[in-house]
Amino acid sequence: MRKLAVAAVGGHHIHAKAAFKEVAAYDPNKGFSISQKLMKDLKLDHNAMTQTQRRLFRELANSGRPNTLIEQTRIAKEALMAGGATEDFANDLLKASLENLKNQNVTAPSNIPWNKTKK
């Protein structure tokens, strides 16, 4: 796995921190994210990632499908790839982010970010 530059704040949380804001065990300051520097160095488009997340979260909220960690991971991967990450690099980032969530005892999201819909 490529060495990942992790940022406590000011980067891109792989799994959107807003998805877990009501999960007592989750600390967004300990959430896995990639730094602005890494995104710049790898020519990743943070805006494209964010816009893709917003669109996919809106689609999830309107779909009636359950808000699960699987859905959150699918959205995270699509957003990373929309921003220019290769599938392999996106998978590496997702693996690290899922491990971080596991270490924080987070098993499910509490919200669909940028939507009023919860579970």
Q: Predicted confidence band at 116 (pLDDT cuts at 50, 70, 90)? A: confident
Contact 112, 15 (CB under 8 A): no
Global pTM value: 0.89
Residue 14: what pLDDT? Answer: 96
Residue 97: what pLDDT? Answer: 96
CA torsion sign for 60, 63, 65, 66 is positive
Tell me the per-residue pLDDT of 8-34, one tens digit each, with 9 for 90 and over: 446 899 999 999 999 999 999 899 999
